[in-house]
Amino acid sequence: MAWISLGGVRQEQFDLLCKDGSRRPLSDFENCNWGLVPSDAIVVSSAVSFETREKFQAFLQEFAKRYGKNGPRHLDSPDQREPELDNFGNRLLPTQDRYNARPNQPEYDPYNSRNVQRFRRQNYVQDGPDYETRNTLNGPERNYSGGTDGTYYEHFDLFESTPRYGEHGNLLFQVLVANEPLYLRLLINYDSARDIVPVPENLQTYEAFLGKSHEIIMEVRKCPVNRMTMCVTSDEEKNKCVKMRTALKAQLLKPELDCYKGYSQIHCMQAIRGAKNTCHGGINTAAGWVYPMAYLISNGWIRSYGCNSIRAAAEYFTKSCVPGAISTEYNTGVPYDNMCDLCHGASFRYCKRDASEDYYGHTGAFRCLVEGGGDVAFVKHTTVFENTGGKKREWWVRDNLMEDFELLCPDGTRAEANEYRKCNLGKIKSNAIVTRGGYGYNETQIDAYINLFMYAQTFYGRKTRDDFSMFMSDPPHSDLIFQDATTQLKVIPASQRYYSVYLGSDFMRARRIVDCNAGSGSIFATIALTILSCALLIEKAHSSLWDFCSLCSKEL
């Protein structure tokens, strides 16, 4: 509370709120307070040697000695600068306006607040040569009252802020004074510092200086879970994970993040089920495979071959790029090479189901369509908006216009890309961060993971290339760990965290249509967080559903 800002304020108008719920007058602060904290300190780098720090201390002490003698004035002092005002800004006590009454007398102070004899120019330097007497160097010196008698009223006070430098107090220094009552320091709008006291060498670390206060701070920051591990499936995701770990550590966020690279998503899921404390982003590419194939098979457009969707697709499509289709982890039957004919990855990265394959994910499928490899792409509804209109710098994105692409609707018609609400193959849930459930379920760990990511997004959720961003990927890659369309992480209610409940009955039914083993080897997982994309926030603020679409070029 500032005395200057609040006219007519009385200490009787305020009470202290004690920890036991009672109230006390301001003067009883010694018995009613929330604890003691150390005074503010001047901080230097730990790389500065002790000898240099001693020189800094000596300099600041001399500085305070020369320019800090005029400490704060008491409210009851006769030279109080500010008059008492009522609630309407009127003076409570009439005062005589003596301004300019005796402008030419040296002992007169036009502000009636200082002993001007202390502030003559010759008092600035006590033992200097001729400097203090050369008042005519730039002509006759003029005081604030307009006189030319050589009197100089300006004086620098190291611990003064208001009103000389504006209405803000405690500029540079804000040191508490032991001999002033606390309630007066709260009600007076002047700086309460009187001196600078050197900190002993054994207290020149922040832990030693803060003492018990540091223990309290660290107690608040304590996390019952020491570490968590995020499982990723590519070198690119591993690099981003390491950057995220560094960023989280810079903000002292707990638990500490470790990055573990698995060689496939199934490997990561097995690690989760095998009692390793791991989290990883995303289970499947539902919009790219599960729902489209289930739709085509269930409607009789392609032959089902039971629930062997890979064989059905291989015999229906001439060429495709389905990352992971020839991997024995995802295809336990006969591998069909034409399922990877259009893929772009080199060497061991060819048709791999992770970010090392250029055509992996929604953006990869769209790139396959743009570069002429494919005629139709199955993607989520935000993919076109993310990769057209110059929103990215990659060479294959630069010339893309939204008008160059159309949606293929279930009724055989076509629609513009922005008409996805009425032209789509269905809705699916957003990707989720997954952790161990079943017998390995640990609610304390779940809460720690949720808190870590919710705090992390407050620091690193903004999309900027000048700093680490959780929801951006370094070009030419996309959707590393989190999708690039993500704007926010949202906590899933506890009642919906079992994987089948979260994914919904429609998805589980579609999964059984395209995968014969979908119901036999399920992993009991607990979903911790959902990811909302920017399109979801536009469509419905609290929705966790995607529209997914069949997309084609207009030339088709």
What are the DSSP calls for 431-453, one per residue? Answer: PEEEEE-GGG--HHHHHHHHHHH
- According to CATH, what is the number of the domain 286-427? 3.40.190.10
Asked whether the predicted pLDDT for residue 53 surpasses 50, the reply is yes
Residue type present at position 397? V
* % of the chain exceeding 70 in pLDDT: 67
Instruction: Tell me the pLDDT tens digit for each residue of 486-543.
Output: 888 888 888 888 888 888 888 888 888 888 776 544 333 333 343 333 222 222 233 4
Asked whether the predicted pLDDT for residue 329 surpasses 50, the reply is yes
Distance CA 236, CA 145 (A): 71
Contact 432, 283 (CB under 8 A): yes
Strands 278-281 and 432-436, sheet pairing: antiparallel
Least confident piece of the model among 139-148, 198-207, 208-217, 541-550? 139-148
Distance CA 127, CA 147 (A): 27
Only one residue has tokens 């040697």, namely 49
Residue type present at position 7? G
Picking from 327, 325, 329, 323, the residue whose alpha carbon sits closest to that of residue 345 is 323
Comparison of pLDDT for 135 and 458, the residue scoring more: 458
For residue 292, which phi and psi values (nearest 5 degrees)?
-60, -45
Comparison of pLDDT for 22 and 170, the residue scoring more: 22
pLDDT at residue 336, as a whole number: 84
What's 123's DSSP letter?
G
Which structure tokens are listed for 509?
């039914």
SS3 assignment for 230-262:
EEECCHHHHHHHHHHHHHHHHCCCCCEEEEEEC
For the chain, the maximum distance between any two Cα atoms, rounded to a whole number of angstroms, is: 110
- pLDDT band of residue 549 (cuts 50, 70, 90) is low
Asked whether the predicted pLDDT for residue 121 surpasses 50, the reply is no
Give the residue-averaged pLDDT of 109-134.
44
Tell me the Ramachandran region of residue 213: left when phi exceeds 0, alpha when psi lies from -120 to 50, beta otherwise. alpha
- pLDDT band of residue 223 (cuts 50, 70, 90) is confident
Distance CA 481, CA 486 (A): 11
Helix and strand totals (H; E) in the chain: 14, 13
Give the residue-averaged pLDDT of 286-312.
83
Distance CA 367, CA 346 (A): 16
CATH match of 227-284+431-540 with 3.40.190.10: yes
Residue type present at position 316? Y
Cα 253 to chain centroid, rounded: 11
Task: Mention every residue, 6+ apart, whose C-beta is less than 8 A from residue 340.
Answer: 320, 321, 322, 323, 325, 326, 350, 351
Beta bridge pairs of residue 378? 550
Distance CA 87, CA 408 (A): 71
What are the C-alpha distances in Å from 264 to residues 322, 330, 356, 362, 476?
Answer: 15, 10, 12, 18, 21
pLDDT at residue 278, as a whole number: 36
Distance CA 309, CA 330 (A): 12
Element (H, E) at 23: strand 23-24
pLDDT at residue 220, as a whole number: 67
What's 549's DSSP letter?
E
Which structure tokens are listed for 477?
């890659």
CATH 3.40.190.10 range(s) for the chain read 227-284+431-540, 286-427
Distance CA 543, CA 478 (A): 23
- pLDDT band of residue 205 (cuts 50, 70, 90) is confident
Residue type present at position 461? G
Sheet containing strand 486-491, edge to edge, reads 256-261, 227-232, 278-281, 432-436, 525-533, 486-491
